[in-house]
Amino acid sequence: MPKHVVVIGAVALGPKAACRFKRLDPEAHVTMIDQASRISYGGCGIPYYVSGEVSNIESLQATPYNVVRDPEFFRINKDVEALVETRAHAIDRAAHTVEIENLRTGERRTLKYDKLVLALGSKANRPPVEGMDLAGVTPVTNLDEAEFVQHAISAGEVSKAVIVGGGFIGLEMAVSLADMWGIDTTVVELADQIMPGFTSKSLSQMLRHDLEKNDVVVHTGEKVVRLEGENGKVARVITDKRTLDADLVILAAGVSPNTQLARDAGLELDPRGAIIVDTRMRTSDPDIFAGGDCVTIPNLVTGKPGFFPLGSMANRQGRVIGTNLADGDATFPGAVGSWAVKLFEGSASGAGLTVEGALREGYDAVNVHVEQFDRAHFYPEKTIMTLQLVVDRPTRRVLGIQGFSTLGDALTARINAVATMLASKPTVEDISNAEVVYSPPFASAMDIVNVAGNVADNVLAGRCRLVGTEEFVQLWEGRKDADICFVDTRLAANAVPLVEKYGDEWINIPEEELAARIDEIPRDKTVMLVCNTGLRSFESQLILDRLGLTNTKSVAGGMVAIHKIGGDI
């Protein structure tokens, strides 16, 4: 008898699992159900639909060749029965049945399954404060919410928006609202930085500066305490620090697994509420698979359970489930957490742990910051890319990499190179030797990825003694009270503006003249060496070490990094 598979959830993982399974077992019967009327869409595209870059919402629900993936599509092209506007109320694991309700008619019935797939997804976190039910307050996790926002904006009803949460969705929505619609947009983030958990605090400053340059207001370390409305519609966001006018509030404070159905069925969940699955994506019930935003999978960097609510995870896991439904033997070992986000001029991308995350995990972690051209420095079109490499000192193991650049594809070329290595516990040496492609229009002969490994090696050996960009800015601002001497090691022409502006406080001794002019450097102070990107200041540190002047620090990333975080110097 043909196998009957029931799939609950039809956005990303569900359809992928269903279609892959049908390819392997054409005789089987697959029923896929979803509460919504529209299924199989690219939810990650919502910010681009709201902005208008994606001109109609059907595109998010269409194949690359503009065929809308509706129940008819699944029936004809995939031989999969898709029941929309249908809710699953309960799973009876003993009986192998799911109780479902047609939300249009109210009709209830019981579906029998041989194997069940839970593609339950996630739900937006809602801060537990007053006013969340006011009109104009919404997450953007599904197409109905996306349309609500887009229609409100295009009808001219939104002049001030507040976004609660400074993660991916929050920042993408901020760009969408401010860039394309010119809406006064404010991001409020509870953590002390935007993109917490994904970028270091120092890198997050570059993202923040990119947003602020483009008139997005960012408040970090700030808590929403109440929303206030007028006539049932939101009018103000009250934080612990201020009151923000708002006629639209986007909830982007992360997501949580949507697993009540699994909990009621007695499946094993982790403390966060995510369904526990094995590497074959089977739940604690061998006849039930689960994947996507509703499960926990191993973090391959820490070895601990992780949570990776990302469309790409759902798609890849869906295929694994489809294979295993057909008695195949596919596995999904876990994830290192790779990501990318496009802002205004800049884009950020990363994989693995941030330095703060690594320290929290108990690693003796150090963050190595590199600024370098993203291709041969003599090649005309290029930009200076930022990379940060997170390294465990005692083992020299690389735990993560993050970066920021105006040329996003070139950045992802470096992040991808390391992301696919991370699970195999690469060392600093592996990064120094990483065989990224080389040709002057695409990379340097000693590429920035390799340089990040090299600098890490020098830092671990104590040859390169760095000070971080933010710390430098603080030291500079407090220079009147500190015994610090600032030495600009660039060529004179580059240093002139600062020398003219700051006089004795900003000494210029080009690297080339250090040996001859070493007496100009006071021996009783900490010497802060600065150049354009951190290369000449490191070389200067080595020269001074050789000459016995060792109380020096090299400013990681130099003036380029200082400007990228908006440092006022």
Q: Which of residues 450-479 bind a copy of itself (CB under 8 A)?
A: 450, 454, 458, 463
Q: In the window 154-193, what residues touch a copy of itself (CB under 8 A)? A: 168
Contact flag: residue 278 with a copy of itself (CB under 8 A) = no
CB of 548 within 8 A of CB of 505?
no
* Token reading at 9: 């959830």
Amino acid identity at 129:
V
Q: CA 482 to CA 227: how far, in whole Å?
A: 44
CA distance 181 to 201: 29
What is the closest distance, in whole angstroms, from the C-beta atom of residue 178 to a copy of itself in the complex? 17
Among 173, 288, 417, 495, interactor with a copy of itself by CB under 8 A: 417
Which residue, 80 or 265, has its beta carbon nearer to a copy of itself? 80
Which of residues 239 and 338 has its CB atom nearest to a copy of itself in the complex? 338
Counting contacts by CB under 8 A, is residue 494 touching a copy of itself?
Answer: yes
Collapsed DSSP state (helix, strand, coil) of residue 275: strand
Number of neighbours of residue 63 by Cβ within 10 angstroms: 11
DSSP 193: S
Nearer to a copy of itself, 435 or 519 (CB): 435
Q: Which is nearer to a copy of itself, 116 or 455 (CB)?
A: 455
Query: The tokens of 137 are what?
Result: 């307050």
Q: 330-349: which residues touch a copy of itself (CB under 8 A)?
A: 330-333, 335-336, 338-342, 347, 349
- The residue from 110, 154, 312, 395 that contacts a copy of itself (CB under 8 A) is 312
Q: Does 383 bind a copy of itself (CB under 8 A)?
A: no
Residues 6+ apart with CB under 8 A from 333: 279, 298, 300, 423
Is residue 292 a contact partner of residue 318, using CB atoms and an 8 Å limit? yes
Q: Which of residues 362-381 bind a copy of itself (CB under 8 A)?
A: 372-373, 376-380
The least CB distance from residue 279 to a copy of itself, in Å, is 11
Stretch that binds a copy of itself, among 48-56, 98-106, 195-203, 228-236 (CB under 8 A): 48-56
Among residues 410, 450, 459, the alpha carbon closest in space to that of 426 is found at 450
Binding string, 524-543, against a copy of itself, x = CB under 8 A? --------xx-xx--x--xx
* CB contact burial 461-489 (16+ within 10 A = b; e otherwise): eeebbbbbbbebbebbeebeeeebbbbbb
Applying CB under 8 A, which of residues 1, 65, 362, 483 lies at the interface with a copy of itself? Answer: 65
Instruction: Determine which residue in the list 445, 478, 492, 497 makes contact with a copy of itself, applying CB under 8 A.
Output: 445
Taking the CB of residue 548, how many other CB atoms lie within 10 A of it? 8
Greatest pairwise CA separation for the chain in angstroms = 90
Site string for a copy of itself, 391-410 (x = CB under 8 A): ----------------xxxx
Q: Answer yes or no whether residue 250 interacts with a copy of itself by CB under 8 A.
A: no
* Residue closer to a copy of itself, measured from CB, 239 or 444: 444
Tokens of 297: 């999978």
Is-contact 310 318, C-beta < 8 A? no
d(CA 556, CA 478): 19
Helix, strand, coil % over all residues of the chain, rounded to 5: 35, 30, 40
Is the Cβ of residue 393 or residue 546 nearer to a copy of itself in the bound state?
Answer: 546
Assess 418 for contact with a copy of itself (CB under 8 A): yes
- For a copy of itself, give the closer residue by CB, 162 or 404: 404
Nearer to a copy of itself, 262 or 300 (CB): 300
- Give which of 568, 455, 566, 569 is closest to 208, Cα–Cα: 566
Asked if 279 is part of the footprint of a copy of itself (rule: CB under 8 A), the reply reads no
Answer yes or no whether residue 553 interacts with a copy of itself by CB under 8 A.
no
Stretch that binds a copy of itself, among 177-185, 232-240, 254-262, 510-518 (CB under 8 A): 510-518
- Residues in 216-235 at the binding interface with a copy of itself, rule: CB under 8 A: none
Tokens linked to 285: 């019930």
346: phi then psi, degrees, rounded to nearest 5: -105, 160
Quickly tell me which residue has 């049908």 as its tokens. 22
Report, in Å, the least distance between residue 264 CB and a copy of itself.
29
Q: Which stretch binds a copy of itself (CB under 8 A): 19-27, 183-191, 226-234, 392-400?
A: 19-27
Q: Pick from 369, 490, 553, 564 the residue near a copy of itself by CB under 8 A.
A: 490
- Which lies closer to a copy of itself via its Cβ, residue 117 or residue 543? 543
Residue that the structure tokens 């483009």 belong to: 214
DSSP line for 524-563: TSEEEEE-SSSHHHHHHHHHHHHTT---EEEETTHHHHHH
Give 471's contacts (C-beta < 8 A, 6+ positions apart). Answer: none
